[in-house]
Amino acid sequence: MFSRLRIAVAPCGLACRSAHTREKGKLLMLNPRTNKGMAFTLKERQMLGLQGLLPPKIETQDIQAMRFHRNLAKMTDPLQKYIYIMGIQERNEKLFYRVLQDDIERLMPIVYTPTVGLACTQYGHIFRRPKGLFIAITDRGHVRSIIGNWPENDVKAVVVTDGERILGLGDLGVYGMGIPVGKLCLYTACAGIRPDKCLPVCIDVGTDNQTLLQDPFYMGLYQKRDRSQLYDDLIDEFMEAIIDRYGQSTLIQFEDFGNHNAFRFLRKYREKYCTFNDDIQGTAAVALAGLLAAQKVIGKPLTEHRILFLGAGEAALGIANLIVMAMVEGGLSTEEAQKKIWMFDKFGLLVQGREHKVDANQEPFSHPAPDQVPKTFLDAVNVLQPSAIVGVAGAGRLFSHDVIQAMGSINQRPIIFALSNPTVKAECTAEDAYTLTEGRCLFASGSPFEPVKLTDGQVFKPGQGNNAYIFPGVALAVVLSGVRHISDKVFLEAAKTLTAQLSEEELAQGRLYPRLSNIREVSINIAVNVMEYLYANHMAFHYPEPKDKNQYIRSNVWTNDYESFLPDLYDWPASISYPPKMQ
């Protein structure tokens, strides 16, 4: 199990050299960037003032990792596991990423969805040490000085949230900081982006969560969420301050903003800054990749599918717009592609002239009402006869048994994507999807499900449509290419690259995505193809352009190997270092 991902990536020369540090003694052990625990060598202990501060034993990182995995195996509670794993990050950064890469398939659900959602709801209760940068609306006019307090001078990637829509859990205010922290962990674990180049940020403008406002352990402002012009002014000031300190090509990823803000900020900033919204664009790419994989299995072109969404928010619209882009590439007009996509939200089917207003982002997918207007999602399935249903409503088990059975009767190979997070918010379980369609469905979920065994002995391994397949690789390419603006075409390229990495064996097992255990290699391959696209379309500003982009990317991947902190020691010729002997 240990180190199984290391063979996929050539180690970075810079990371393997001796590292110079001015810190000595206890400070070296208190800093997670320099702490190696008992892996400090005897010479390091003697020269850096550590002798006696550690037990005599000198350990390898392998032994440290083994201790971690054995301790974790004794734990059963997911929140307890989260606290333990993130505690390692606070003490020994290299070891944290080592163990995460050792068993990323098992640990990703803990540091990311679904357990990170639980951790966010309890953030103030399990708080150990602050991570990232907190910027409150009361800091307006002083954001640049706050960003100046961050100790790193060369940040390349920022993930920012205002905590209004954390996964499917709603408004968690500053408790949402767990999401940027978790996302950036995956930047490093999945794509090898240096952790010191990453900055998690939480913008605190209050919360409308009354439970948190009455919680004595809540860590944010005790006020209702500010929705005035002051909020927009604060976000503007933040964006300008980041660029002022770190440069125009700094990647700024928006995460878990409310629907009403996510789209308008994307429109407002995408041509001015190097930015993307993972809930809109990352989710879109991973969902499209799943549909492209389903296309491989069924042998039916994407352009011939009819797709029905449960939910019409930022995730649904992001996926739908990218599907349209892929269908246009497949030969349809934009209007023809849009007509193949329908949406059903809490007010019913999106149709022209319906009582509840359809916003501007939804209008392309608001069609003339069918002769029989469906009142329920099951009605919509029976009336529209879709080949695929995609759940992104975050409202729980709304793909009922009747809905799944209807999809199975309409289609020989129904496509069922239950993408809402965390697991409790998924529209159905993998077991229901496979059982009720007798193993004929092509299933994907946002959070992980265990393999499903049917009564006839068939075993299916559900695909997890996890954004982590997309955003780390895209971010790696963007950071190394010096990109200033990110086109939606980047996510189309990422989706196609992800699908291309599926093996026939994985497709036969019911997988629509590659194994998570191989995600480092998947991310690097995405980064290579995206970088090729960026340079070919004159979107990259890092010069000279790397001739061998594969080698260039791999040479810049961060490694979790321990560095030596010994100073660079060498001798001078004695004959020129001392004065001649006096006669």
Catalytic residues: 112, 183
The SS3 call for residue 348 is strand
Token representation of residue 297: 């299995």
Of the candidates 147, 82, 90, 151, the residue with the CA atom closest to the CA atom of residue 120? 82
Q: Taking a C-beta distance cutoff of 8 angstroms, is the pair 197, 154 a contact?
A: yes
Q: Taking a C-beta distance cutoff of 8 angstroms, is the pair 13, 523 a contact?
A: no
**Angle CA 182–252–282, to nearest 5:** 65
Strands 133-136 and 157-161, bridge-based pairing: unpaired
Query: Containing H/E element for 160?
Result: strand 157-161
Residue 147 main-chain phi, psi, to 5 deg: -65, -30
Chain-centroid distance of CA 538 in Å reads 26
Angle of helix 488-500 relative to helix 314-329, nearest 10 degrees?
A: 80
> What single-letter amino acid sits at 72?
L
Specify the residue for token string 């390091």: 44
Residue 581 main-chain phi, psi, to 5 deg: -65, 140
Q: What is the dihedral of CA 367, 280, 107, 76, to 10 degrees?
A: -60
Which whole-number Å values give the CA distances from 506 to 101, 301, 302, 349, in the listed order?
21, 20, 20, 35
- Number of helical H runs and strand E runs in the chain: 25, 14
Burial label, 550 (beta-carbon count in 10 A; 0-12, 13-18, 19+): middle
Contacts 24+ apart (CB under 8 A), 64-71: 64/37, 64/38, 64/39, 64/92, 64/95, 64/98, 65/2, 65/95, 65/98, 65/99, 65/102, 66/2, 68/95, 68/99, 69/1, 69/99, 69/102, 69/103
* Sequence-ordered list of residues with C-beta below 8 angstroms from that of 244, at least 6 positions apart, any chain: 144
